[in-house]
Structure 1
Amino acid sequence: MLRSTLALTCAVSSLTLAQAEEVRLKNQPYGEDVRQQFDLYLPDEVSGEKRPLIVFVHGGSWQSGDKRQAWTKRRLFLDRGFAVASLNYRFWPDVTAQGMVEDIAAALSQLIDGADQFGIDEDRIVMIGHSAGAHLVSVLGTNERYLEAAGLSFDDLAAIVSLDTGRYDIETSLEGVSFSPFGGGDSALFGNSLDEWRDVSPLRRVVDGENHPAFLVVAAADRPESDLRTQVRPFLSRLFGAGVQSDFYRAERRSHVGLFQRFGRENDPTTKTAIAFMEDVFARRQASKREDTWSLAPSVMKGTSAAPRPLGTADSLLAPWQEGFAVTRSGEDGLTRLDFYDPAQNQWTDGLIFSDDDRPGSALFTATVETDRRGAPIAATPFLLIGTSQESRPLASRAPRLYTLTPSDMTAPEAIELGTPIKRPIDVSITAFGQHRDSVTGADLVFAAASPASAGIYAAGVAPQDHRRLVWSDQPEFTGRPLEDITGFATCGGHFFAGSANALYRRIDGPRPQWTVLSNLRVDPAVRQLARRAGFPWRGMETLGALHCGTAKGQPALVFGLHNAVLSADLERGRVTVETDLRDLALTDQGLAVLHASLERAATLNQQTEQEEVVFGLSFTLGDAASTMSADPDGSPSTGYLLSRHAHPTETVFSIEAIDLKGKDAATPFGAVTGLAVHHQPRAAQAAIFALGRNAALAHRPLGR
């Protein structure tokens, strides 16, 4: 094999990468034969980040075709930051299919050799083949001997996109055809023995537990049913059975030829499916490369001076505080505790024990105030806010109550009652906290939402004369409809938003603020359909979960959970998009049969517009006792789940990660992840994500660079 560098015959020979509108390296040889050449196209915008590579392998019945067929496909992928290669290979009858696969492996090896020179990410290489090319790349993705002969392995391939072939099992497709070494047509093309046929039969080469690349199998609308029955479906079944990440797409209204003609166009459904699939594969590979081993913090019951503390079933909450975390938890003794965890020392310290009269822990939040109520700058002052939940009692009047702590006084929290006491026998609680700097007054404000909805949303700021206390408004800024609890706040695009299961609201800043409806979720058709599918007993009892500022198609958007789904709403008109069904995702990703799913908390891992990554804690109600979620004899699940949302400019990709949180030191197992935070240890080289379980087990893992 000829091992030349990629710089041999640059078609734009006098220009640097940064100067060229599009860099084209044409007719790069990877062997001695005139057909052993490839073209490489690089995006015109040069950044410091490495780019994924797509390698096109053309079709043509193994005896015709040319790499120039990818010319019209390149632009869309270049615009999305991909490098694009297209290669020629030798044809039948000069070589058999085995020789063609050897050619493709040799070309791939040379492209990888030049990866550093041209900024190609060796962990994100995808091969896309059409027709005969689809068969050849599928062989490469299932028979590692061809890669090994070129000095490569399955690790060098992220994914295979197979665009419409009916040759996944040569033995079956040529059933009844005799072997002939002298011009035996198809039989000789694939070899002259059964072993040779099987050598280039992707179906026969899939191995359980092998590190095969991911597969997207595409079938055109005119693909014969006989091929689907004997080739496509058995191949997919074999991939699934071997644990290979794989998916199938039927290109409706696309013929075998039309499928490839339209591939690479902006609005082509097959292209959109392929891009989404590749981005999902890349996200999974990136996650698998991390130092993703979860470690358990010591049990909160250990290392404290208090007596052993049995943990109850109420949710525990987590909030960053000083150089560690504050955690609220409820014990079986009826008392709620606030403890503190120091990641640097990996130990707990006692905080506060609250009486049975009110139960802190309905909401927990850290706010840092840097301007007073007039908008004047002040020294940054942190506050820890603890919301309470008070059960209804006959003839008792109760007002929503919260506590605040400051670093200067950690032993005597200030109790604040919001508004006037409610005289009805009804539960009263703080449901959410938030923070926002008023764009008109410049004041840093802290917000508390109270339940019942008639209690409303209250705002607080620090007075110019006393920066150690939050001063709360006497009257709510906003009151919701009956039975409409505000359960989340988010600052997004310079605006402040609140959310309930019925609506999303936007605050109009100023000395006399107002709240307007951004989106009426009760009448939105997509949300109504989700609500109908929710089923008893959740229908009508749903709450909005984990309201978060994210991106959708490259634009700021509100992201939230509702009715077993993840949704997003644009900030201008409040248009709602259903992004994924959590129950379907739990089944495909983790094998879980889920009756009800909700988002609990959110933490941002990567805030780059081009590739934002946010994780959410998940809470599942299982509908199948035989699911893969492990459980103690008492039925308490010992696995927690996180949802990762990777937002790209064109697609949003989701995956679910399982965490074994029982461990030998965990106080009790738990299922829901109710607290999430990213912690940057002072002077440490790496950040870590912390996940808190419903029953106060705390796990953490480093974040990859």
Structure 2
Amino acid sequence: MTRHLVAALGLVLWAIPAAAQSEKVTIVRDLDYVAGAEYRGGKDRLDLYIPQGASSAPVILSLHGGALEAGDRRDEGFVGHRFAAAGYVTAVASYRLSPQVSHPAHIQDAAAAFAWVKRNIRQHGGDPDRIIVIGHSAGAYLAMLLATDPRWLAAHQLSPRDIKGVAPVSGFFWVDKPGVAPDRPTYVWGTDRKVWMEASPARYLRADLPPVLILDTDGDEQWRQRQNADFAAALRAAGHTDVTVHKVPGRSHMSVWTGMGDGEDEETSSQILLFARRVLAAKAK
């Protein structure tokens, strides 16, 4: 999770063509999910990818990766196109980044984005009672923190129960464990170990969490693979009975996500769609 990796991430994502360009998908861009905020760079905005004729369609909110210091919704059109082509109204959100902000700004933005989707998606053809949250890397961390720590959605009079499923891809779940950043960025979480613990999704596990699909790849760093395996075990130990684990073979930390945009590797998106169809009882294509 170094700055060099983050810079490479941005270059790679900009180079990927949006998938499913031929599909009949309507894109509504730059919707402000924090009214009146006007964050620099439009970080308070999301884009919607809407299937043709959508009416009470299932919904996916996607949060990008980038070590909480890079990335943008505009890098991730391939995600919106992939899932909209499968029948899901898909919201792809930006959020504020470090070092300009620190924790908890990122998760506050993720909660605000979810709240906006919950309250506004019906007018765009989505069903506000059938929303799952997905994310890659740092976005996976945010998706899981949103689904475990109730404080962030409570600020919007919502709760993790409003999330019908969460699918973190190659994420991390303990900020306070060695490895999450071998160079743990103090500009994200500071230097207080108590804050690291409070910022960790693994500290909030219980039996009534939403269904979880944990995806990673054998190309992920060893510390990340350990966290994913340990997190699945910890969820089950907490009494959670709806935990699915899938390891995508032969992919890197990056390509397990960006493979959705190359038109050749569908395993990550296929696993997410299988999960979404089950937990949302969706009639998707």
TM interval, shorter chain, is 0.7 to 0.9
Select the residue among 2, 27, 32 that pairs with 1:29. 32
Partner of 2:234: 238
Number of equivalent positions: 255
Higher relative contact order (CA 8 A, sep 6+): 2
1:45 to 53, 57, 63: 53
Q: CA shift at 1:161, angstroms? A: 1.1
Corresponding letter in the other structure for 1:236? A
246, 249, 261: which one pairs with 1:249? 246
User: Does the residue aligned with 1:168 lie in a helix, a strand or coil?
Assistant: coil
Q: Cα deviation per residue 1:296-341 (whole Å; 9 max; x = unaligned)?
A: xxxxxxxxxxxxxxxxxxxxxxxxxxxxxxxxxxxxxxxxxxxxxx
CA distance in 1, matches of 2:243, 2:191: 31
Calculate percent identity across the aligned residue pairs: 27
2:180 corresponds to 1:169: no
Report the alpha carbon displacement of residue 137 of structure 1 after superposing the two structures with TM. 0.9
SS at match of 2:277: helix
Cα displacement string for residues 377-428 of structure 1 (whole angstroms, at most 9, x for unaligned residues):
xxxxxxxxxxxxxxxxxxxxxxxxxxxxxxxxxxxxxxxxxxxxxxxxxxxx
Number of the residue aligned with 1:223:
220
After superposition, residues 196-345 of structure 1 pair within 5 angstroms as 196-207=195-206, 209=207, 211-229=208-226, 231-244=227-240, 245-263=242-260, 265=263, 268-283=266-281
* 8 Å Cα contact 2:121/2:127 also seen in 1: yes
Does the Cα contact within 8 Å between 1:76 and 1:266 map onto a contact in 2? no
Does the CA-based 8 Å contact 1:28-1:39 persist in structure 2?
Answer: yes
1:527-676 map, 5 Å? 611=283
Distance 1:150 1:113 in 2: 10
Match of 2:161, SS state, is: helix
In structure 2, distance between residues paired with 1:214 and 1:154? 11
Query: CA–CA distance in 1 between the matches of 2:45 and 2:223?
Result: 36
User: Could you tell me how far 1:175 is from its partner in structure 2?
Assistant: 8.9
Specify which of 74, 83, 101 is matched with residue 80 of structure 2: 74
* CA separation of 1:111 and 1:266: change in aligned 2, threshold 3 A: farther
Cα distance in 1 for residues equivalent to 2:222 and 2:191? 28
Q: Which moved more, 1:215-224 or 1:261-270?
A: 261-270
AA aligned to 1:276 is L
Question: What per-residue deviation string (whole Å, max 9, x for no partner) do you get for residues 184-229 of structure 1?
Answer: 951341233222111221111112x3x3111111112222333333
Aligned match of 1:500:
none
Which residue identity lines up with residue 23 of structure 1 in the other structure?
A: T
* Amino acid paired to 2:238: A
Cα 1:281–1:194, aligned 2, differ >3 Å: closer, same or farther?
Answer: same
Consecutive unaligned residues of structure 1, counting only runs of 5 or more, are: 1-20, 178-183, 284-609, 612-647, 650-705
The whole-number CA distance in structure 2 between the counterparts of 1:219 and 1:41 is: 25
Letter in 2 for 1:102: Q
The residue type equivalent to 1:106 in the other structure is: A
Q: Confirm or deny: 8 A CA contact 1:202 1:235 kept in the other structure.
A: no
CA distance in 1 between partners of 2:144 and 2:33 (Å): 21
Q: 1:29, CA displacement in angstroms?
A: 1.4
Residue in 1 aligned with 2:14? none
Structure 2 counterpart of 1:82, one-letter code: Y
- 1:680-691 residue pairs with structure 2 within 5 A? none
> d(CA) in 1 for partners of 2:181 and 2:60?
37
Which structure would you say has the larger Rg? 1
What's the CA shift string for 1:643-695, capped at 9, x where partnerless?
xxxxx75xxxxxxxxxxxxxxxxxxxxxxxxxxxxxxxxxxxxxxxxxxxxxx
SS in 2 for 1:281: helix
The Cα of 1:104 is off from its aligned counterpart by: 0.7
1:117, CA displacement in angstroms? Answer: 1.5
Note the C-alpha offset of 1:24. 2.0
Q: Could you tell me how far apart the structure 1 residues matched to 2:30 and 2:89 are? A: 16
Query: For the Cα contact (< 8 Å) 2:44–2:96, is it kept in 1?
Result: yes
Distance 1:241 1:107, change over 3 A: same
- TM-score for both structures, normalised by structure 2: 0.82
Cα deviations across residues 590-649 of structure 1 (Å, max 9, x unaligned)? Answer: xxxxxxxxxxxxxxxxxxxx85xxxxxxxxxxxxxxxxxxxxxxxxxxxxxxxxxxxx75
Which structure has the highest strand share of the two? Answer: 1
Report Cα offsets for 1:454-493 as digits up to 9, x if no partner.
xxxxxxxxxxxxxxxxxxxxxxxxxxxxxxxxxxxxxxxx
